[in-house]
Amino acid sequence: MITLDSKIQKGEKEKEMKNKKLWIFGGIILLIVILNHIFDWSSYISTAENLEFMKRIVQNNLPLAILLYMVLTVVGVWCLRFRE
């Protein structure tokens, strides 16, 4: 039988999980910003010649790029779904 106390406990656990996910997300964003500051990734990615290089790699290996995108998307969705 579901009681009011069990509903309150379930709501508190869900709230804790949301807060935990928020802190993890914030930590990942902070880590990316710090690593970008150290390794200066944004300047590397934003130069025209590097963007052309990445474009050529994808165009030359389009089936592999599509397969890699699909695999990473499926794995990411699967991990998120089964983690909850």
Q: pTM for this structure?
A: 0.49
Q: What is the pLDDT of residues 18-59, one digit of tens each?
A: 788 888 889 999 999 999 899 888 887 778 888 898 889 889
Give alpha helix (H) positions in the chain: 4-39, 41-46, 48-60, 62-83
Burial level of 6, CB count in 10 A (0-12/13-18/19+)? exposed
Q: With bands split at pLDDT 50, 70 and 90, how would you rate the model's confidence at 3?
A: low
